[in-house]
Homo-oligomer: A and B are copies of this chain.
Amino acid sequence: MTTRAEQRRRTEERILRAARELFGEYGFDRTTVRMVATRASSDAGLVMRYFGSKEQLFAQAAAIPADGAIEGSPAEIAEQLTAALSAKLAEEPAAALAALRAMFSHPEAADEVRKAMTAQQRQVADQLSGDDALARSGVIGALTLGLVVSRHLVKLDGLDAAPEELMAIAGPLIEELVTG
């Protein structure tokens, strides 16, 4: 039994998934509403009707799910950070990749990413000791960003290794950055 409301919800979900994939692959400007509609087996007019504008569609598709709170002893912080990074390397976080790819040409996407990263970074910096705590947490963010982008988006040489192998290399770096 499919009510109209249910049917609509499914169509919206299909559109959102298609939008995430395409924004992640081609960025904001090169992804057209028509492309999204086609991949979702729908049409452009309907996409506009449901989401209002391409901008709003992007905002919903590229909303980055917040990581859990980071807290505890330095060792615990390091472990939570490495676990979060490991997950981001192993899977392909579609919404985050869409936001990451788009952020370089779409200022609103840049704000979204900066907001998500700053929130986590502040938590970390507050719990680190040393007067270079802010810079150290910044380098942690840059390393994380660099690894995720290099692996999933740029597909840089050497980063197609198994997540475990990469973490065996990057994990100690993060520990070092946390302890100072």
Contact = CB atoms under 8 A, between A and B. Distances in A.
Interface of A: 26-30, 100-105, 110, 113-114, 117-118, 121-122, 125, 132, 134-139, 141-147, 149-151, 153-159, 161, 165-166, 168-170, 172-173, 176-177
Contacts of A147: 139, 142-143, 146
A112 to B, nearest CB: 11
Q: Quick one: copies of this chain in the complex?
A: 2
Given A134-B161, A144-B146, A150-B145, A156 B104 contact: no
Nearest to A141: B156
| Majority secondary structure, A binding face | helix
- Interface pairs A-B: 3 shortest CB-CB: A146-B146, A138-B158, A27-B105
A128 to B, nearest CB: 11
A152 to B, nearest CB: 11
Given A101-B105, A135-B166, A139-B169, 15 more contacts: A29-B105, A30-B105, A104-B153, A117-B156, A134-B157, A135-B169, A136-B158, A138-B150, A138-B161, A139-B147, A141-B157, A142-B147, A143-B146, A146-B146, A172-B176
